[in-house]
Structure 1
């Protein structure tokens, strides 16, 4: 779990992002494409074209962190907009990370067995 303070803003980068990008490539995308400061302490969440992989970029004041999550089955729920950012709350992000539709919280898929 990412320890998110209450004053941290969380942004979904709408559209599809090239998931080959690493920490510095995504920070550059935040700075040039979204016109925001990647070192301001906000969380930026990016989704790939297939929808089963997200990356979270966060600068906590000490250093930059990059978190990734890939779903075994299903897709992450994403806004329909093609360009820009959408602000979400910490509870909506928690639903998103659990593959629950953060607009209408409900499990989209749950594994039945470990193997």
Structure 2
């Protein structure tokens, strides 16, 4: 898991992104579609057409990082919207990166255990 500075926001870019894009292409998409700066320190997450490839654009202050992950089986859970952005918590990002359902996770047991 990434260790993110306090105040860092995580944004999913809704819809499909051409995964041939690298730093410049993804930065341009952040600026034109989200009206945000790719150098803000926030994370911008993109998913490819088939849903098994994901890229994250992140500025660390001294440069841009481009992280990618490919699932060998299955696909990344993605919102149904075709455009815009979706805010994620760090916990939801961790679930997304594991290929888990992050949109509506449920607690299995809400009762506290009592230790005698």
TM-score normalised by L of structure 2: 0.87
- Following superposition, the deviation at residue 76 of structure 1 comes to 0.2
Which residue of 2 is the match for residue 54 of structure 1? 54
Deviation of 1:2 after TM superposition, in Å, equals: 2.1
What are structure 1's unaligned runs of at least 5 residues?
A: 107-115
* Partners of 1:69 and 1:43 in 2: CA distance: 15
Cα displacement (A) at 1:79: 0.4
In the TM superposition, residue 6 of structure 1 has moved relative to its aligned partner by 2.9
1:85 match:
85
Counterpart position of 1:74: 74
Instruction: Between 13-22 and 31-40, report the one with greater CA deviation.
Output: 31-40
Find the counterpart in structure 2 of residue 18 from structure 1: 18
| CA deviation after TM superposition for structure 1 residue 12, in Å | 0.2
Query: Hey, what does 1:30 align to over in structure 2?
Result: 30
Number of aligned residue pairs: 106
Greater Rg over alpha carbons, structure: 2
Superposed displacement of residue 104, structure 1: 3.5
Structure 2 CA distance, aligned partners of 1:75 and 1:4? 25
CA RMSD of aligned residues (A): 1.2
Q: Deviations over 1:62-94 (max 9, x none)?
A: 110000000000000000000000001001000
TM-score with structure 1 length normalisation? Answer: 0.88
